């Protein structure tokens, strides 16, 4: 074995390398119980704001059968909703996170009220870090749950290929974007896409918010206009739902010219590529 030995009960682990860590007691939920020791490929210790964790890297066959589905869905991530889809549904933004964020800000200000180098300041820093960690985890859990549901229910999920780093530079949008944990959400979509063998496709984002999903005309509107009202064909739709429909139509229009991406990281930068499949081909 490579530097560690798991106790037969799997409640203790001993590190046998020369760093002097020795035996550790494992607390919390032990998902590790489900896996035979032979499948554990790597073990490492990770430090988080609320303590140390032993991380097990387990080799498992990740693909799973999902219920058969032929449904295709386009999704538009916005500021008003976590996302809106081409069938007209809106997934609400998790407001509890915004509340928690206010609390975090207060705790953060607390740090600077304490004297530099004092133990009070150190403690305040710890409180801040733990609260921050909690919100990060809540966000992640939320994004994961939504992505899983969406992937299970649809054979094809089409989304916009947004340049998040470019958008976050705009400070007004920044908070809402991180709030909606869009990037994290997309990563989970790609993860579940692989797991359930579903297609997750990113299409170029240009004009999706102004194009008419019914006739293709370009209908200019400001950010505050919540309804798409086409002056050419008369089509009326909620703004984000119209965008989601346009997003879905983009992929159908592109069938036949989708290329695989044979190298590099396909997350968040690929344009109109089958991100899941191309990853497998690497
Ligand atoms: Zn129209």
Question: What is the residue-wise DSSP string for 203-260?
Answer: E--TTTTTB-TTT--B----TT--EEE-TTT--EEEHHHHHHHHHHHHHHHHTT----
Residues in the chain: 282
Whether 253 is covered by a domain: the verdict is yes
- Judged against a pLDDT cut of 80, whether residue 244 lies above it is answered with yes
155 plus 50 within the same structural domain: no
Whether 128 is covered by a domain: the verdict is no
CB count in 10 Å sphere of residue 197:
16
Answer with the residue of higher pLDDT: 174 or 236.
Answer: 236
Q: How far is the CA of 229 from the centre of ligand 1 (A)?
A: 8
Whether 263 is covered by a domain: the verdict is yes
Q: How far is the CA of 219 from the centre of ligand 1 (A)?
A: 8
Q: How many H helices and E strands in the chain?
A: 7, 12
Whether 108 is covered by a domain: the verdict is no
48 plus 158 within the same structural domain: no
What is the mean pLDDT of the segment spanning 234-257?
84
Model pLDDT, residue 120: 94
Answer with the residue of higher pLDDT: 251 or 60.
Answer: 251
Please give the tally of structural domains in the chain: 2
155 plus 277 within the same structural domain: yes
Q: How far is the CA of 258 from the centre of ligand 1 (A)?
A: 27
Residues of the domain holding 173:
72-92+151-281
- Judged against a pLDDT cut of 80, whether residue 221 lies above it is answered with yes
Whether 33 is covered by a domain: the verdict is yes
* H-run or E-run covering 279: helix 275-281
Q: How far is the CA of 3 from the centre of ligand 1 (A)?
A: 65
Model pLDDT, residue 174: 52
243 plus 183 within the same structural domain: yes
50 plus 176 within the same structural domain: no
84 plus 224 within the same structural domain: yes
Q: How far is the CA of 214 from the centre of ligand 1 (A)?
A: 5
Confidence of residue 94 (pLDDT cuts 50, 70, 90): confident
Instruction: Count CA atoms within 13 Å of residue 28 on its CB side.
Output: 10
31 plus 77 within the same structural domain: no
265 plus 160 within the same structural domain: yes
Whether 64 is covered by a domain: the verdict is no
Q: Is the CA virtual torsion 177, 178, 181, 186 positive or negative? A: positive
187 plus 229 within the same structural domain: yes
pTM of the model: 0.68
pLDDT, tens digit (0-9, with 9 covering 90-100), for 115-129: 999 999 999 999 999
166 plus 42 within the same structural domain: no
What is the mean pLDDT of the segment spanning 126-137?
88
C-beta separation of 186 from 263 below 8 A:
no
Which are the catalytic amino acids?
Answer: 76, 160, 240
30 plus 83 within the same structural domain: no
Confidence of residue 281 (pLDDT cuts 50, 70, 90): very low
Whether 262 is covered by a domain: the verdict is yes
9 plus 79 within the same structural domain: no
What is the mean pLDDT of the segment spanning 65-86?
88
pLDDT, tens digit (0-9, with 9 covering 90-100), for 26-35: 876 656 766 7
Mean pLDDT of the chain: 79
Range in 4-8, 196-200, 208-212 the model is least confident about: 4-8
Whether 143 is covered by a domain: the verdict is no
Pairwise CA distance, residues 1 & 184, whole Å = 34
């Amino acid at each position: 074995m490579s530097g560690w030995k798991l106790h037969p009960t799997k409640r203790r682990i001993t590190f046998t390398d020369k760093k002097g860590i020795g035996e550790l007691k494992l607390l919390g939920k032990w998902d590790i119980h489900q896996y035979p020791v032979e499948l554990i490929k790597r073990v490492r210790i990770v430090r988080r704001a609320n303590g140390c964790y032993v991380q097990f890297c387990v080799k498992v066959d990740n693909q799973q059968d999902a219920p058969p589905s032929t449904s295709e869905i386009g999704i538009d991530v916005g500021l008003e909703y976590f996302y809106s889809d081409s069938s007209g549904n809106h997934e609400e933004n998790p407001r509890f996170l915004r509340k928690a964020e206010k609390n975090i800000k207060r705790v953060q200000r607390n740090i600077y009220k304490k004297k530099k180098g004092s133990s009070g300041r150190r403690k305040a820093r710890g409180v801040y870090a733990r609260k921050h960690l909690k919100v990060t985890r809540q966000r992640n859990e939320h994004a994961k749950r939504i992505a899983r549901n969406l992937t299970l229910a649809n054979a094809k999920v089409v989304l916009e290929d947004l340049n998040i780093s470019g958008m976050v530079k705009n400070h007004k949008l920044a908070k809402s974007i991180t709030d909606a944990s869009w990037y994290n959400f997309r990563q989970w979509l790609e993860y579940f896409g692989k797991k359930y063998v579903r297609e997750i496709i990113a299409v170029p984002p240009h004009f999706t918010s102004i194009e008419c999903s019914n006739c293709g005309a370009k209908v200019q509107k400001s950010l505050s206009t919540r309804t798409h009202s086409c002056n050419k064909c008369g089509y009326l739709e909620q703004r984000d739902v119209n965008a989601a429909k346009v997003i879905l139509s983009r992929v159908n229009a592109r069938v036949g010219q989708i290329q695989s991406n044979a190298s590099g990281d396909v997350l968040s930068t690929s344009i109109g590529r089958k991100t899941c499949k191309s990853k497998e081909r690497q």
